[in-house]
Amino acid sequence: MRLFRLVLVFLLSLAWFLPSQAQNTRMYNTVKTKLAEGRQVVGGTVDTPDPDIYCAMANSGFDFIWIEMQHSSLNYTDVARMIWACRDAPAVPFIRIPNATEGDIQKATDIGALGLIVPMVDDAEKMEKAVHFAKYPPEGRRSQGGGQYGRLWGSDYRQTWNDNLMVIAMVETLIGVDASAEIAGVDGVDAVFVASGDLGSFSGRRQGEPEYEALVDKIKSGIESAGKYAGGPSAWMQTREGYQFFQGPSTGSLIRMGTRVSLEEADPCRFLESGDTPVAGENPCP
């Protein structure tokens, strides 16, 4: 009987120990893992609070979801529900926060975001504060508090968070371009995103113009010198070398594109003028 009890205690201890060990080595930020392997990652942009739309995006093949809180009416309750509704989806949640305040960062991380995208970064100090607010002590001052993060990512969340978090800085202004090397060099910043549209807005130049391309080159040079990942729009995936982190189309854009493709497959003449030929050698459109 004593031997039986000893064996039972041993088996129960082993059953507790092995899951514990597995949890402690779990890497739940798959985006960070893919980037470390040299792969490109792309995130679909969601700016609507509908959990069904979020789940459709999160299960469609994207590596992460770019949850848009800077240029949308989404609030943290909306986003918490979206993340929870599709907590097992392969695309992990990243949030473009409204600003790098301590409150925004605390809320975004508490509801389960694994990546923070910080807009309108003009200097290194902004990113130093963002990293400080986002990481647990001793590296930062994130309050442990509450939230759904533990139910999403497991009991080892606190122990693995500082290594699994991704922080991305967006360079959008001419001031940010000048400071891009210092921004990229901040400890805890994983990537710098070249905001192509805003860069054109602030500079008054278009992509392809020498002045615009010089700005992009300066940002990228600073990123490379710091050994960080370079990001940009998904249109750059096949046209520019050295970029790994991409923002994909929004739900609205994908609905428009998907609708057009679906209608063209059903009726190749739908968007063509009468007399045009959908495919060479076929009958012209009526």
Give per-residue pLDDT as tens, 44-95. 999 999 999 999 999 999 999 999 999 999 999 999 999 999 999 999 999 9
Of the chain, the percentage scoring pLDDT greater than 90 comes to 76
- Going through 74-142 in order, the beta strands assigned E by DSSP cover 92-96, 115-118
Give pLDDT tens digits for 122-173: 999 999 999 999 999 999 999 998 899 999 999 889 999 999 999 999 999 9
Distances (CA, A) of 113 to 36, 53, 151: 19, 18, 13
pLDDT of residue 21 exceeding 80, the answer is no
82 within 8 A of 66, measured Cβ to Cβ: no
Residue 110 tokens read as 């508490």
Domain ranges of the chain: 33-266
3-state helix, strand, coil in the chain (%, to 5): 45, 15, 40
CATH class of the domain whose range is 33-266? alpha beta
pLDDT of residue 13 exceeding 70, the answer is no
| pLDDT confidence bin for 27, thresholds 50/70/90 | low
The residue that leads in pLDDT, 5 or 286, is 286
Which pLDDT value is given to residue 250?
Answer: 86
pLDDT of residue 7 exceeding 60, the answer is no
Of the chain, the percentage scoring pLDDT greater than 70 comes to 91
User: How far is it, in rounded angstroms, from Cα 99 to Cα 186?
Assistant: 18
